[in-house]
Amino acid sequence: CLGCKQNEILWLYSSQFIVLGLVASAIGCLLGWFAQEALFHLLRGLLPQHVASPGLLAVFFGFIIGMAVLLGFALPPLLRLKQVSPLRVLRRELEPLPSSAWLIYGLSIGIIGLLIWKYTDDIKMTATILGVGLMTLLALGLLIYSLLNLTCKLLPSMSLIWRFGLQGLLRNSHASVSQILAFSITLVAMVLSFTVRTDLIDNWQKQLPDNAPNHFALNIFPDQQAAFQQELQQQHIDGSRFYPVVKGRLVEINHTPVQQIVSKDTQGENATHRELSLTWTKDLPEENKIVAGNWWNNQQTGLVSVEQKLADSLKIKPGDLLTFTVGSQQINATVASIRELRWDTMKPNFYMIFSPGTLDAYPSTFITSFYLPGTQKNVLNTLVKKYPGTTILEVDLILKQFKTILTQLTEAINYLLYFALMAGFTVLFAAVYATLDNRIYEGALMRTLGANRSLLRKTHIIEFFALGLISGLLAVLISEAIIYALYTQVMHMDYRPSLYLWPVIPVAGALFVGMAGCWGVRHVLNKSPLRVLREL
């Protein structure tokens, strides 16, 4: 209307965003430096005394990430300016987003993916993060849309104040979905970090049987094995079986080098890059279950039984020929069976168990585990003095130290999540201020038609408290689903829902988001209706 060309308008706003991005990225890098120093302080017990300072490359990548995110999501709306006539703007008739804008969105996501790949140096992990992340966001977005549509159908049965309040969420559903997603994902991360720190290890320890072994004795020499066992019996200490151990490395499967078979970052790769503890026994150990093949009889030699997950990772099946190196010698064994076992029994477990007589020619030591109550800890001093070559691991102390480390790590993670929570509030305020003019106009019309400040205030409270409540409910639902999978599929534990989360998280979300949202729209109540109508 004032004579500016479309390209000039595009460059005007683009330059403003570029300057904004540079300033914001600089502030972000500075805040990142302070956050890093705070994290070093939290984790000072786990890190070396002298830690290298971040280099210029980290600052450069910080600027790149900031500019990529800003321009990637700001350019598509700016590109619409070139295709919109002044008359359509004055009439508030905007066209849908062009296909070129979606390409820019895709390009910005691609740049973020390249940066993730740069940091992880793992293309598979990068693809997994992007793929799972996008699918999760899509699924959650559809779920939130469904909840909003259900709310829309229930509006006619609600009172006037509730209808006005919830219509604020439904009127701008795209912004509502983005806000709910931002708060829900942040709350999920915080709930998970809290649950892992406080509940997971404690629940795992509670599910262990009474008198479960809490000490391991390793490197017991064969000529001391009988005396060591007798010492435990004299002290009335409950112990598990003694297993002979020979150190060996798996090198070939059916005459094919194992490195040509194993996949990167799998259990098979971890097991084949180190020596394994090999053992032999006549009877199938407790907590072991044959899932393929058969256990051997007393006369068979040259056979081996393989743990199921390792067998799946290396594609091992009964009848395959495995080659091991023990010292400088090689030994072949035929796979007789595949075993499923529980690693959480606190008893010796093995990837490879051989039939008796297969490993007799090789030097070995023994391993066992036993339960020792806190009142008998002095027995350890006796065992160490009598058997100085034996290594005794105190599992209860290791778990205590692990809990300490886990607590420090989760505190550091929560420290970072506070930034994510602030980002969620930033999204909320941005959405509020983007619709502030419309809210002021609607408030003026409602007050002109007889509504008072109390009615407007209540509608705002309902709108933002409902937004926080939905975010909290969704966060608890997602958290419980993840915890269920963690307990049942990873830890193989009985799942117990965290009932206290269901009222606490939604109420907390409603309070914090509600207060922040009401503070953001406080100008709606302070504007005079007459002044607003004169400015139209």
The 3-state DSSP class for residue 393 equals: strand
Q: From CA 321, how far away is CA 254, in angstroms rounded?
A: 5
CB contact set of 486 (below 8 Å; sequence gap of 6+): 200
What pLDDT is stored for residue 88 in this prediction? 57
Q: Are 456 and 446 in contact (CB under 8 A)?
A: yes
Using the predicted structure, report yes or no on whether residue 526 has a pLDDT greater than 70: yes
Q: Are 258 and 272 in contact (CB under 8 A)?
A: yes
**Which phi and psi (to 5°) does residue 334 adopt?**
-95, 135
Element (H, E) at 63: helix 56-79
Q: Which of 428, 32, 400 is nearest to 201 (CA)?
A: 400
Scored b (16 or more CB within 10 A) or e, 513-529 reads bbebbbebbeebeebeb
What pLDDT is stored for residue 414 in this prediction? 72
Q: Mean pLDDT over all residues of the chain? A: 82
Q: From CA 456, how far away is CA 527, in angstroms rounded?
A: 12
Rounded alpha-carbon distances, angstroms, from residue 87 to 79, 92, 292: 17, 8, 75
3-state SS track over 413-480:
HHHHHHHHHHHHHHHHHHHHHHCHHHHHHHHHHHHHCCCCHHHHHHHHHHHHHHHHHHHHHHHHHHHH
What pLDDT is stored for residue 235 in this prediction? 86
Average pLDDT over residues 121-141: 82
User: DSSP state, 362?
Assistant: S
| Pairing of β 256-257 and β 243-253 | antiparallel
Q: Which of 86, 103, 22, 88 is nearest to 59 (CA)?
A: 22
Exposed, middle or buried: residue 142 (CB in 10 Å: 0-12, 13-18, 19+)? exposed
47-61, 158-172, 419-433: least confident range: 47-61
Using the predicted structure, report yes or no on whether residue 111 has a pLDDT greater than 90: no
CB atoms within 10 A of CB 187: 27
91-100, 189-198, 369-378: least confident range: 91-100
pLDDT in tens, 58-105: 778 778 878 877 877 777 777 766 666 665 555 555 555 555 556 666
Q: Are 446 and 464 in contact (CB under 8 A)?
A: no
Q: From CA 274, how far away is CA 268, in angstroms rounded?
A: 11
CB atoms within 10 A of CB 226: 11
Amino acid identity at 243 = Y
Confidence of residue 324 (pLDDT cuts 50, 70, 90): very high
Average pLDDT over residues 494-513: 88
Share of the chain above pLDDT 70, in %: 86
Q: From CA 167, how far away is CA 64, in angstroms rounded?
A: 39
The 3-state DSSP class for residue 257 equals: strand
**Which phi and psi (to 5°) does residue 342 adopt?**
-105, 120
Using the predicted structure, report yes or no on whether residue 221 has a pLDDT greater than 90: yes
Whole-prediction pTM:
0.68
What is the C-alpha radius of gyration for the chain, rounded to an integer number of angstroms?
32
Quote the tokens at residue 163: 């209808």
136-150, 259-273, 473-487: least confident range: 259-273
Instruction: Return the axis-axis angle of helices 453-485 and 501-520, rounded to nearest 10°.
Output: 140
Tell me the domain boundaries of the chain: 1-121, 140-209+395-536, 240-370
Confidence of residue 364 (pLDDT cuts 50, 70, 90): very high
| Pairing of β 276-280 and β 303-307 | unpaired
Q: Where are the alpha helices (DSSP H) in 155-221?
A: 160-171, 173-195, 201-207
What pLDDT is stored for residue 355 in this prediction? 95
